A and B are shown apart, each in its own frame.
Chain A
Amino acid sequence: MNRNRLQEIIPRLVLSPSMALILIFVYAFILYTFYLSMTDSRMLPSYGFVGFENYEKLWNLRHWWRALTNLAIFGALYIIICSVLGLFLAILLDQKIRGEGFLRPIYLYPMALSFIVTGTAWKWFLDPGIGLENTMHQWGWASFEFAWIKDRTLAIYTVVIAAVWQSSGFVMAMFLAGLRGVDSEIIKAAQMDGASNVTIYRRIIIPMMRPVFLSAFVVLAHLAIKSYDLVIALTGGGPGQATELPATFMYSYTFTRNQMGIGASSAIIMLVMIFSIIIPISIPN
């Protein structure tokens, strides 16, 4: 009897440290940050309650709108290009390619790198003075110009270029696993009916990959909203505020501009953005 009761308690006892850590470090932290977002905290947390004043200030900041606009541009292009490129490469690799085992790791290895490493490499590659532009000049293409990274309106697209390089191989792997999971009987039946390869992909296989599209979307959207390291390493948010994203905005307002209240409110907005993507998608499952 005694032993049985112990056996009943042990599982919960084992789970409890993790649960306690997550309740504190995730859920209590969210509440605390939410509370801070309603206070007059500047350099340090302070508890003078100001209601939604910080949110009002936040939404009146040009800098914040810039960060949101950049996120919209970056996020949309990043998700679309990674998905299209990933699916395209997966379909090509799925054509019984010799050397698939050799190509796949080449497409995927950037995922193993830190965004700081990626940023360091691409910053240099995109630098007109020593990178691609310079190389083209050396090869005799004197009129070649590629200085997006120095351009206030185009710099955000360089973040897309580097981020796509890093993540598209991973999306390819997700789609490839999805393609391999498609029942070959269905494909054979369609071939017997005389359907062409293009039709089979367009009408049968790609529609069956809906769940993979959804997973890729969730993963990429949440990576996009959290993007921080890559911008820091690639452009530092500049030139000016040209590549500022919500994550870099939050960091600089909280820790360098001593506007912790506003920083906290921007973190809450980021959380709301992610949860409004994750929760509707994951609840039906």
Chain B
Amino acid sequence: MSAEKTAGVSGNRLARAAIYSVLIVFAVYYLLPLYVMLVNSVKPLDEIRQGNMLALPDVFTFEPWAKAWSSAQVGVQPTGLKPYFFNSILMVVPAVAISTILGALNGYVLTKWRFRGDDLVFGLILLSCFIPFQIALIPAARILGLLGIAGTTQGLVLIHVVYGLGFTTLFFRNYYAAFPTELIRAAQIDGAGFFQIFRRILLPSSAPIIVVTVIWQFTNIWNDFLFGVSFGDFDSQPMTVALNNLVSSSGGVKEYNVHFAGAILAALPTLIVYIVSGRYFVRGLMAGAVKG
């Protein structure tokens, strides 16, 4: 009896050790590319060429980072990634703000001010989350041209607001659907209007969903490449497009260390957001994926 029990426990221990090993192996697998990028972004170029990609640097240098930021050849100009970083910021901040505000108002209307046909309206908005953007490339180029904002940051902001609306509306609609409608009826009887109810009753309890939406929109828009490459100019191209130009520019020696420093610079904002508020990020993905 007692022998059997010990066998069971040690078998169990073995199983747990196996589980932990598998989990750690996968952690290494997910971390390896990031490690390789980090380590090689602080090595001189000849050390990368001769050395092992997993080895720690013999000579430690920040020069590749400085070069990627301010003097590397991006496309035709030796500007580094700096101007594109600010292009991305100037595009992301208004696009996230506008699409979040519109999404909140849409979600509020679709749950608390329902009207005939609102399900159809929501269906049309929701379906827009899934269209392949290739379908929009040609007409969007035409419209941006007609509006006189082709190749500008405003143009990219407009595009990102439009194609983000589906998700922001979905997030807020799902969140507000669970909000007690009686509170709103009561406020209405007290004479509160549409915006007053939104500001005084719904907005104060919307912090979690606002965080989720902002993170979702921020990562999607920051990481976008297709719209940036299709509709951006030098003054408006985002970081992802610049990184791709940096890495694939054919002239001269391939400076891998600079490429890696650039890749990390491009990834840094979303990584920081993720590290600081990863739990919300996951929750955002869930809300979008599981319910969507």
Report which A residues bind B (CB closer than 8 A).
Answer: 7, 10-12, 14-15, 17-19, 21-30, 32-33, 36, 45, 89, 92-93, 95, 97, 103-118, 120-125, 130-132, 134-135, 138-139, 165, 169-170, 173-174, 177-178, 211-212, 215-216, 218-219, 222, 225-226, 228-229, 232-233, 236, 246-247, 250-251, 254-255, 260, 263-264, 266-268, 270-271, 274-275, 278
Contacts and interface: CB of A to CB of B under 8 A. Distances in A.
Contacts of B266: 114, 116-117
Given A120-B263, A121-B33, A250-B134, A18 B19 contact: no
B125 interface: yes
Given A130-B53, A229-B240, A267-B137, 7 more contacts: A26-B131, A33-B139, A109-B271, A116-B225, A117-B264, A124-B259, A250-B137
Interface residues on B, range: 35 or more
Interface of chain A: mostly helix, strand, loop or mixed: helix
Contacts of A229: 225-226, 240
Contact of A21 (B115, B162, B270, B286): B162
A272 B159 CA distance: 22
A139 B195 CA distance: 67
Interface stretch (B76-84, B101-109, B148-156, B202-210): B101-109
Given A28-B139, A116-B266, A177 B133 contact: no
Interface of B is mostly: helix
B43 to A, nearest CB: 12
Interface of B: 16, 19-20, 22-23, 26-27, 29-34, 36-37, 48-49, 51-54, 102, 105-106, 108-110, 113, 115, 121, 124-125, 127-128, 130-140, 142-143, 159, 161-163, 165-166, 169, 193-195, 219, 222-226, 230, 240, 243-244, 247-248, 256, 259-260, 263-264, 266-267, 270-271, 273-275, 278, 281-282, 285-286, 289-290, 292
Nearest to B37: A121
Contacts, number: 253
8 contacts: A7-B194, A14-B194, A15-B110, A33-B139, A97-B23, A114-B267, A115-B223, A215-B292
